[in-house]
Amino acid sequence: MLFDPFISSNPLAEGIDVDKIQPDYMLISHGHEDHTADAVRIARQSGCKCIGIWEIHSWLQSNGIENTHPMNIGGSHSFEFGTVKMVSAVHSSSFPDGSYAGNPAGFVIQNSDDCFYYAGDTALHTDMQLISRKFKLKCAFLPIGNNFTMDIYDAIDAARMVGTTTVIGMHFDTFGPIEINHEEAHRAFKTAGIHLHLMKIGDTIDI
Ligand code: NI
């Protein structure tokens, strides 16, 4: 599964060969360029199924991508790998040309082995509490870079709300305004009793 591909125009991802990425599924949280830059290219080369809100589906279709599955906030659907529930995110969403991309979203992915939350870009919001009522998360992918999304302290609150003690940080260090102090982030999460993983581009981890 691939989420929000932003590779060829991301200077930090220079070492990643986009042409070699062959996912089975691609999930897109919203239309901003730093989440969709390589979506059409990878969908075309891999034939993967692309999951996103209705307007993301329409945009992919209009770019010649046929293997799409539209959803909307609050809905869930079962795929081969498990169930995806599309949940709300508090952010904005438009495509690089400024056109409407629907609402921003997050995803909760669940099967019999695993359950995790991918928040996309979002502010801290109290709807996150609903996730812990229905799901027992193994981990959560949360934005922590501040300025455009939650900062590390809001992400700690978010982790508590969704009910997880394992967080993989996202949306940090890519541009000046979202550069973070790694030491401070690790210290704050440790004090809160939450494991924070700050992955480098190309890293792999076992959770
Ligand atoms: Ni965004």
The β-bridge relationship of strands 105-110 and 82-88 is: antiparallel
pLDDT, tens digit, 9 for 90 and up, residues 47-98: 999 999 999 999 999 999 999 999 999 999 999 999 999 999 999 999 999 9
Q: What is the distance in A from the centroid of ligand 1 to the CA of 81?
A: 26
| CA dist., res. 2 & res. 63, Å (int) | 19
Report residue 134: phi and psi, to 5°. Answer: -105, -25
Nearest to 117 by CA among 145, 90, 84: 84
* pLDDT at residue 205 in the model: 95
Q: What is the distance in A from the centroid of ligand 1 to the CA of 86?
A: 16
Going by pLDDT thresholds of 50, 70 and 90, the confidence category of residue 130 is very high
Q: What is the distance in A from the centroid of ligand 1 to the CA of 174?
A: 12
Going by pLDDT thresholds of 50, 70 and 90, the confidence category of residue 173 is very high
| DSSP 3-state of 94 | strand
Buried b (16+ CB within 10 A) or exposed e, 38-52: bbbbbbeebebbbbb
* pLDDT at residue 139 in the model: 98
Q: What is the distance in A from the centroid of ligand 1 to the CA of 163?
A: 24
Domain boundaries, the chain: 114-207
Report residue 138: phi and psi, to 5°. Answer: -85, -35
* pLDDT at residue 28 in the model: 98
- 75, amino acid identity: G
Q: What is the distance in A from the centroid of ligand 1 to the CA of 142?
A: 13
Topology of the domain covering 114-207: Metallo-beta-lactamase; Chain A (3.60.15)
| DSSP 3-state of 52 | strand
Residue 187, C-beta contacts closer than 8 angstroms, at least 6 positions apart: none
Q: What is the distance in A from the centroid of ligand 1 to the CA of 112?
A: 31
Could you give the percent of the chain with pLDDT greater than 70? 100
* pLDDT at residue 102 in the model: 98
pTM of the model: 0.97
Residues near ion ligand 1 (Cβ under 5 Å):
32, 121
CA distances from 108 to 84, 119, 135 (A): 6, 8, 8
The β-bridge relationship of strands 115-118 and 105-110 is: antiparallel
Q: What is the distance in A from the centroid of ligand 1 to the CA of 35?
A: 7
Q: What is the distance in A from the centroid of ligand 1 to the CA of 193?
A: 28
| CA dist., res. 110 & res. 52, Å (int) | 16
Q: What is the distance in A from the centroid of ligand 1 to the CA of 184?
A: 24
| CA dist., res. 76 & res. 85, Å (int) | 4
Averaged pLDDT of the chain:
97
Q: What is the distance in A from the centroid of ligand 1 to the CA of 103?
A: 11
Going by pLDDT thresholds of 50, 70 and 90, the confidence category of residue 129 is very high
| DSSP 3-state of 51 | strand
Residue 206, C-beta contacts closer than 8 angstroms, at least 6 positions apart: none
Q: What is the distance in A from the centroid of ligand 1 to the CA of 143?
A: 10
